[in-house]
């Protein structure tokens, strides 16, 4: 990512924060995670995307969790059997 692209992404993140646009924050933090070559930065950005996804019930939350688990920054989602699902309906 070029410095100009990084600055544009940062500006979009700041604007999304100012607008309390949590759906945009999920996408923008995920984009930032994919744009950095620094593992700790990618982990931070993915964590932020995951938190906003959880808070909003965003359907991308499981995929974000899986990416964090692959990085060793989250536990894998538990596998639920049909029996456990039937015993614990939501």
Taking only the tens place, the pLDDT of each residue in 46-89 is 999 999 999 999 999 999 999 999 999 888 777 766 665 566 65
CA torsion through residues 18, 9, 62, 37, sign? negative
Residue ranges per structural domain of the chain: 3-87
Q: Residue 76 is encoded by which pair of tokens?
A: 């894998």
Tell me how far the alpha carbon of residue 43 is from its chain's centroid. 9
CB 69 within 8 A of CB 75: yes
- pTM for this entry: 0.81
C-alpha–C-alpha distance, residues 22 and 25, integer Å: 5
C-alpha–C-alpha distance, residues 86 and 67, integer Å: 28
């Amino acid at each position: 990512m070029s410095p100009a692209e990084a600055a544009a992404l940062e500006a979009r993140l700041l604007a999304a924060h100012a607008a309390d646009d949590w759906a945009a924050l999920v996408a923008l933090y995920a984009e930032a995670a994919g744009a950095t070559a620094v593992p700790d930065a990618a982990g931070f950005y993915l964590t932020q995307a995951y938190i906003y996804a959880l808070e909003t019930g965003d359907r991308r939350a499981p995929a974000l969790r899986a990416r964090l688990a692959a990085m060793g920054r989250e536990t894998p989602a538990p596998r639920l059997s049909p029996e456990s699902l039937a015993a614990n309906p939501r």
